[in-house]
């Protein structure tokens, strides 16, 4: 049976083929050679307190249109000024209405790390991400074989980027650890069914060895959720929908960061 993730990845591959015809890998490699060095996002995510990766997100497969966001750069600046540690930018176009243009605009506007959030299935996309200024890339375990995961994780670090390795069940968590992941994102949303299970982080975090940065993803509506995840041991939360739909984005960013700062992990 074809899952939602399968359908998204199929579209990603089609769009990728078009871009690869327009811009060669050699062109990307030249751009990377001339680019400024990436920011060490992993080090920042390891800082005390709860880090926030704030997302520029116009739409999602589960909720449809979320916000128009005509000026992603301004939104990113608001996030950064309010205390976000990093900015996540959706670059997938079919389901999320994102683009590499959004990534370029955000990279130009902020001095904190930027995550290219997309469905990475080839090495070309990693070179593409770095050429457009990304400091962090997303590797979704569910969409990669073990060999692909290890190879792309290694390439990301060779390019100086931080790899956020995303899991949503026990098997994927073990695969991420075995691949050498240093930053693991636990997604409460099952990308194959789009269902959200709020207990996913608490269930999987015991399987992640100490020293690996943990990021809670999906279904985070505000400070109370951030406080809960911080208490469960999260080093960071990734929040998109609640921020782009909120009436006062800056206030919500500040409240999430403050909630994490006041919380001692349950396992401490």
The counts of H helices and E strands in the chain are 12, 10
pLDDT higher than threshold 80 for residue 263: no
Over the stretch 235-253, which tens digit does the pLDDT of each residue have? 999 999 999 988 899 999 9
Of the two residues 49 and 1, the one the predictor is more confident about is 49
Exposed, middle or buried: residue 223 (CB in 10 Å: 0-12, 13-18, 19+)?
middle
> 169 φ, ψ to 5°?
-155, 180
Over the stretch 71-86, which tens digit does the pLDDT of each residue have? 999 999 999 999 999 9
- pLDDT confidence tier of residue 266, bands split at 50, 70 and 90: low
Mean pLDDT of the chain: 94
CA 249/CA 181 separation, integer angstroms: 31
Chain position carrying tokens 């691949």 = 179
Over the stretch 115-151, which tens digit does the pLDDT of each residue have? 999 999 999 999 999 999 999 999 999 999 999 999 9
What's residue 268's pLDDT?
43
What's residue 264's pLDDT?
53
Q: State how far the alpha carbon of 116 is from the alpha carbons of 136, 198, 206, 266, in Å.
A: 6, 25, 27, 31
CA 184/CA 38 separation, integer angstroms: 19
pLDDT higher than threshold 80 for residue 163: yes
What's residue 262's pLDDT?
55
Q: Which positions are annotated as active-site residues?
A: 55, 57, 117, 166, 187, 217-218
Handedness of CA 112, 116, 117, 120 (dihedral sign): negative
What's residue 190's pLDDT?
81
CA 193/CA 200 separation, integer angstroms: 14
Torsion of CA 10, 16, 21, 24, to 10 degrees: -140
What's residue 61's pLDDT?
85
Chosen CATH of 4-260 out of 3.40.50.1980, 1.10.630.10, 3.20.20.70, 3.40.50.720: 3.20.20.70
pLDDT higher than threshold 60 for residue 265: no
Over the stretch 176-208, which tens digit does the pLDDT of each residue have? 999 999 999 999 988 778 888 889 999 999 999
Taking alpha carbons only, the member of 68, 63, 51, 167 closest to residue 113 is 51
């Amino acid at each position: 049976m074809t899952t939602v993730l399968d359908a998204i990845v199929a579209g990603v591959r089609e769009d990728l083929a078009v871009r690869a015809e327009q811009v060669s890998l050699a062109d990307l490699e030249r751009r990377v050679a001339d680019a400024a060095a990436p920011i060490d996002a992993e080090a920042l995510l390891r800082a005390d307190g709860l880090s926030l990766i704030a997302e520029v997100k116009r739409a999602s497969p589960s909720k449809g249109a979320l916000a128009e966001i005509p000026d992603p750069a301004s939104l990113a600046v608001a996030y950064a000024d309010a205390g976000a540690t990093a900015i996540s930018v959706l670059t997938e176009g079919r389901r999320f209405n994102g683009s590499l243009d959004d990534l370029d605009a955000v990279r130009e506007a902020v001095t904190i790390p930027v995550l290219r959030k997309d469905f990475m299935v080839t090495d070309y996309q990693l070179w593409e991400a770095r050429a457009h200024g990304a400091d962090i890339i997303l590797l979704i375990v569910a969409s990669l074989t073990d060999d692909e995961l290890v190879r792309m994780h290694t390439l990301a670090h060779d390019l100086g980027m931080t790899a956020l390795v995303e899991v949503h069940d026990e098997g994927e968590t073990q695969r991420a650890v075995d691949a050498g992941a240093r930053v693991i994102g636990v997604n409460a949303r099952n990308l194959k069914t789009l269902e959200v299970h709020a207990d996913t982080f608490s269930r999987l975090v015991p399987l992640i060895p100490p020293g690996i940065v943990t990021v809670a993803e999906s279904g985070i509506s505000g400070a109370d959720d951030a406080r809960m995840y911080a208490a469960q041991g999260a080093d960071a939360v990734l929040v998109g929908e609640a921020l782009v739909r909120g009436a006062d984005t800056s206030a919500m960013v500040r409240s999430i960061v403050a909630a994490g700062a006041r919380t001692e992990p349950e396992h401490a």
